[in-house]
């Protein structure tokens, strides 16, 4: 499995399918990897679930501060990252959180 340090996605390809970078390297346990993209409310719930199970996560907002000030926090979307060493455990844990229709796509592409 290769890792793109630019956008923090995993791939089996020779270049990153998300950003196109060819500067990939082997992934290590503490590398933050993209888990999923979710709205503000769902992201907060996911952060809580992961935290209660000892899985650190990082949320990265996609909307600028100016837009959030005008429209409000509920319109924010987050990319959620977890350490590679906890990636599979996080996916397994969250599969219980989502029902069949909304199971997240953990693919490498956004």
Give the pTM: 0.81
**Residue tagged 């196109």 (tokens):** 20
In the chain, what are the domains?
1-28 (no CATH), 31-101 (3.30.70)
Rounded to whole angstroms, the Cα distance separating 52 from 30 reads 19
CB of 93 within 8 A of CB of 50? yes
Q: Tally Cβ neighbours within 10 Å of residue 79.
A: 19
Give, for all 110 residues of the chain, the pLDDT tens digit.
Answer: 899 999 999 999 999 999 999 999 999 999 999 999 999 889 999 999 999 999 999 999 877 655 555 555 566 889 999 999 999 999 999 987 776 445 455 554 44
């Amino acid at each position: 499995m290769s890792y793109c340090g630019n956008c923090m996605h995993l791939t089996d390809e020779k270049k990153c399918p998300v950003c196109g970078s060819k500067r990939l390297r082997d992934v290590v346990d503490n590398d933050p990897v993209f888990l999923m993209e979710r709205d503000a409310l769902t992201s907060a719930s996911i952060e809580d679930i992961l935290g209660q199970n000892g899985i650190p996560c990082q949320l990265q907002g996609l909307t600028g501060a100016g837009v959030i000030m005008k429209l409000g926090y509920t319109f924010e979307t987050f990319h959620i990252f977890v350490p590679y060493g906890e990636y599979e455990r996080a996916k397994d844990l969250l599969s219980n959180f989502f029902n069949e229709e909304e199971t997240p796509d953990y693919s490498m592409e956004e």
